[in-house]
Amino acid sequence: MIDATPLDYANAPLAIALRSMTSLRKLVLFIGGSSDILDGCTFKLEVLCGDFIHSESLSKFLNSQPSLTNVSFLRLRHGLPNLETTCLPNLTLVAASFTSLTHLIPGRPVSEVTSLGLADDGFYDLSFFTLSTSPILKLAIDYFCLYPDSTHLLASIFPSLTHLLMITEAHTVRGPPLLFV
């Protein structure tokens, strides 16, 4: 049995169920809260999508998931500063806040990136994209991350780019999700 505090009591049955799903390979979970629900899970995921609050618990879980190739963290304005450098060695597709990308891309074979939102500090140094161990082929990014200073660097930072989707928060575009299929 798990120790359920009043804040996560509603998710206690789900946490118990997740711990029993040892063969789970893909998890899409929008609970709008703590990643503590993943504590004690032994499955080895290939895909993880959620709106978790980035915490020590999430970092610990990610450090135990060497099979993850695709992650989507749809909570804006949170980074993942305490990921081990050996964590997520097979990550190829990532969708996350700009700040989270600075921790998820370096040293990993990321080739497809969806940047969600703007940088927390308004500073857009794109050089971390070059730290992927594979060329980035597909990129979806907010136009304001590239304008005005970084547009001339686009070709040098992304020489192998085959797909580019530029987004702007100033306009609402109706259509499919921004994740590449």
**What class does CATH assign to 25-167?**
alpha beta
Checking if the pLDDT of 66 tops 80, the result is: yes
Checking if the pLDDT of 113 tops 60, the result is: yes
Residues 160/137, Cβ–Cβ less than 8 Å:
yes
Q: Which secondary structure element, helix H or strand E, spans residue 134, and what is its range?
A: none
Average pLDDT over the chain, rounded to an integer: 82
DSSP letter at 76?
S
% pLDDT > 90, the chain: 43
110 pLDDT tier (thresholds 50, 70, 90): very high
Contacts of 84 (CB under 8 A, 6+ apart): 63
Comparing CA positions, the residue from 178, 106, 107 lying closest to residue 142 is 178
Domain spans, the chain:
25-167
pLDDT, tens digit, 9 for 90 and up, residues 24-61 = 999 999 887 778 889 999 999 999 999 887 778 888 89
Identify the burial level of 7 via C-beta atoms within 10 angstroms of its C-beta, where 0-12 means exposed, 13-18 middle and 19 or more buried: exposed
Contacts of 176 (CB under 8 A, 6+ apart): none
Checking if the pLDDT of 181 tops 90, the result is: no
